[in-house]
Structure 1
Amino acid sequence: MSTALLLVHGRSQQMPAGLVRTDSSVADFVAAKRREWLAGLAKGMTLAGRPGVTPDAVYFPYYGNVLADAIAKHVKAGGRTPELEGTSIEALAATTSDDMVLDAAAELGFVASRRLEQSEPELAAAARDVEKSRAAGEEASWGDLLKPKVVREALRFLSDKTGAPQLIITQFLSDVAYYLEDDAMRDEVQAVVTTSLAKITDDGHSDVVVVGHSLGSCVAYDALQRYAGSARVRLFVTAGCPDGYPAVKRNLWGGPEGAAERGIPSVINPVSGTLRWLNVYDEHDVVALVHPLTPLFAAGSDAMRDERTQNPSDPHSIQDYLSDPDVAGPIADALA
């Protein structure tokens, strides 16, 4: 019996619009994506002094086209979707995306009133009132008129601080929000991952190590919370992970809907030691700005560990994340 490696990619991994989607072209495209991950991991394992990965034990559930098509279909329909608890999915996703912008900006020291004093001074006083109420422990909303202005300034602030273009930040947060709020879209993505998990068992693997990147960290976390297969999950690894954003965390599976309580998926059972979840982040990765995750998911526990790294080519690069020996080493140990 052997251990499989499940790699769960993030958003924006769909095939370019100009490529014809035949079975062979999709297979070639996915194989190239898979090689990118394995190239980074091979480098990290070499630096860690560990043996490489057996290719036939690597699974890469590809949902890039599924997610992109679902979002495109939604946009083409003008955002009209069935209503969920009296509120459209479009509105829920927009609210979640806005909340993530504000969460991320707050991590970097964003103060709305200061920014508004420069751009729209007539609104700064209203923003200060909200900030004072919140500082006093009171619940205070930005309100329908003020919130769009605050979000706009927060987005500009994020772009200035991280160097990431506003469009890229907005697209990422929007895709995460749709995944979290649109049940049909979420189920389609989960079905792809579930199929791979089932194949792992069918192929004779008794154990599995799961690695999620970016949105894939949310997808993998959800999958583990509902996993009922027979393969033992030895280790969960997340890279460039947005799971710590309050707007994301309260929407993940594994706890009361809308509440913030989430923990390490109970299905994870290491063969030796106590480490169940390893999270790696680059401080400049806008997707992973809410860090470390251990205090949020497993405070006081040695079953979870955060690893800070510096990615040389791009703060969000999965190849760079996996080439860190402090990340590749634990993966290799769990696969051994």
Structure 2
Amino acid sequence: MIDRRCLLALLAMGATIGSLAYAQSISKIRLVLVHGRGQQGLKPETLKSEWLQALRQGAAAIGRTLPNDLSVAFPFYGDDLQKFVDEFNLPLASEIHAKGTPEQDEYLAFQAEVAEAIRQRSGVTDMQVDVEYGQNPKPKGPLNWEWVQAILQAVDKHGGGMSQGAIEAFTRDVFLYVTRNRVRDTIDQIVSAGITDEPSIVVGHSLGSVVAYNVLRTDQRKLRVPLLLTVGSPLGIRAIRDQFRPLRFPLPVKHWYNAFDERDVVALFPLDASNFAVTPQIENYGLVRNKTSNRHGIVGYLDDQQVAGRLIEALAA
């Protein structure tokens, strides 16, 4: 027969173990991966596997591993974004040959501002742009499609990394997201559904970093995000940044870590006090050497030792 004191001790021990198990269950951190543009037609599970494999490689390089029971969400909006691209049918600068509609002019002005920011930051000179523009007598300006095309051609040749076509497609897709409410709301709903009220580390790549920022700054739920990790982010480009004024640090986020490769033309601007002034300040890491051909690919960011290490630390916190 069990002594009464032993019984009480066993009950207390059971309660303690139960409390610890409960605490662990509610504090377990999830991982939410928010992809960028150009993913239409691809399988979300395949993409998620590629992201995780790159993270594992980065972790292995510093002697660490991802938890085996890690819960990972990969909210996929690639096909929905492509539907909007097809619906709006905005021509790239290289496809414009005559004066367009007011919507096309708005888009061209946006693209011109992005292209000019990239040109200046990547060190492409006015003379190099003039060579691409040739003897064209038309006045230079943001609504002159030939001038915008000349800037993009010069960046393609002298800025390194991303091609003219890739930059044009990138700016078109970002333009649709930041300026068209229906596009933004649809994509935000998809990504928001992947973030639950459990503690979640959110990783955003390229356009995905823009989406993640907007979702976390506007979501009315009491979310808990110990780390927002952005890689290859274009948020520092004024034409994109200004769409979110007044800027503010997302309330659910405890820490924001932004990693970029200085050769990645989409992410040339660090998210610092000059380019993305918020309080508390964002921690920037600009020593990534992205091994992908355009210096912008997700694999070349997630297999970086510092990036993978920061994520592992947050998972273990």
Instruction: Tell me the TM-score normalized by structure 1.
Output: 0.75
| Structure 1 Cα separation of the partners of residues 272 and 62 of structure 2 | 24
| Structure 1 Cα separation of the partners of residues 282 and 133 of structure 2 | 46
- Structure number with greater Rg is 2
- Residue 297 in structure 1 maps to residue 287 in structure 2: no
Aligned counterpart for 1:240 among listed residues 214, 226, 232: 232
The structural deviation recorded for 1:148 is 3.1
Residue by residue over 1:83-123, the C-alpha shift from the partner in whole angstroms, topping out at 9 and shown as x without a partner, is: xxxx9544333321221111111112334366326743575
Distance 1:118 1:216, change over 3 A: closer
1:8 partner amino acid: V
Aligned counterpart for 2:291 among listed residues 304, 309, 312: 312
Aligned counterpart for 2:302 among listed residues 322, 326, 331: 322
Aligned counterpart for 1:71 among listed residues 85, 102, 112: 85
| Structure 1 Cα separation of the partners of residues 57 and 165 of structure 2 | 32
Structure 1 counterpart of 2:203: 211
Q: Helix, strand or coil for the counterpart of 1:294?
A: coil
Structure 1 counterpart of 2:41: 15
1:264 partner amino acid: F
- Please identify which structure carries the higher strand content: 1
| Structure 2 Cα separation of the partners of residues 60 and 103 of structure 1 | 31
Q: Helix, strand or coil for the counterpart of 1:297?
A: coil
Q: Are 1:209 and 1:233, in contact at CA under 8 Å, matched by a contact in 2? A: yes
Deviates more, 1:44-53 or 1:173-182: 44-53
The structural deviation recorded for 1:228 is 2.5
Q: Are 1:293 and 1:306, in contact at CA under 8 Å, matched by a contact in 2? A: no
State the Cα RMSD in Å. Answer: 2.6
Q: Helix, strand or coil for the counterpart of 2:226?
A: strand
Q: Helix, strand or coil for the counterpart of 1:308?
A: coil
The structural deviation recorded for 1:309 is 0.8
Distance 1:298 1:111, change over 3 A: same
Structure 2 counterpart of 1:158: 155
Structure 2 counterparts to residues 167-246 of structure 1, below 5 A: 167-197=165-195, 200-201=196-197, 205=198, 207-246=199-238
Structure 2 counterpart of 1:282: 261
The structural deviation recorded for 1:212 is 0.4
- Structure 1's unaligned 5+ residue stretches are 17-28, 78-86, 128-141, 257-261, 270-275
Number of residue pairs aligned between Structure 1 and Structure 2: 278
| Structure 2 Cα separation of the partners of residues 108 and 301 of structure 1 | 28
Distance 1:113 1:148, change over 3 A: farther
The structural deviation recorded for 1:48 is 2.8
Q: Are 1:94 and 1:174, in contact at CA under 8 Å, matched by a contact in 2? A: no
| Structure 1 Cα separation of the partners of residues 125 and 137 of structure 2 | 13
Residue by residue over 1:137-185, the C-alpha shift from the partner in whole angstroms, topping out at 9 and shown as x without a partner, is: xxxxx364xx434322210111012143211121111111111111111
1:173 partner amino acid: T
1:266 partner amino acid: L
Deviates more, 1:296-305 or 1:37-46: 296-305
Q: Are 2:133 and 2:146, in contact at CA under 8 Å, matched by a contact in 1? A: no
Distance 1:329 1:111, change over 3 A: same
Structure 2 counterparts to residues 42-121 of structure 1, below 5 A: 42-54=56-68, 56-75=70-89, 88-112=102-126, 115-116=129-130, 119-121=133-135
The structural deviation recorded for 1:246 is 0.6
Instruction: Tell me the TM-score normalized by structure 2.
Output: 0.79
Distance 1:237 1:46, change over 3 A: same
Distance 1:95 1:233, change over 3 A: same
Structure 2 counterpart of 1:137: none
Distance 1:43 1:122, change over 3 A: closer
Over 6 Å off, 4+ runs: none
The structural deviation recorded for 1:263 is 3.9
The structural deviation recorded for 1:250 is 0.3
